[in-house]
Structure 1
């Protein structure tokens, strides 16, 4: 008999960091914050994984794209190999 995978007992609801902390603002110059929302390969992490709300995810995407244009952030991640 094949066993079914066990379900997760409890998953914590993801909440938007920007809605929770009112003093935290999405800004293209704040590279330290933007790096948390970009993968190692340089891709923008989707909101279903990060947990941001739709409004702030849109602002994040624009800020990341602006930071890439000005060369604050790289378009591609660091290549190893």
Structure 2
């Protein structure tokens, strides 16, 4: 059976050099400086914003995210179905 497609885990985080001071008002503010998809850190242009689309909390809603990233390689290809184990396709 083929793998079923799944949603990506998108992490928009601020990696801090030192722990924030909880006594300061800015401690709760996040200034993202790292983006990860399924745990993989991505190279992104500094001038390309991350866009998180409107989120409505209803059952089974998905969150849409738009990212601009640097790609190491882009592949456009057709994939043929694999023949079944017993040789019938």
TM-score range, shorter chain: under 0.3
TM-score between both structures, scaled by the size of structure 1: 0.22
Structure with bigger gyration radius: 2
More strand by share: 2
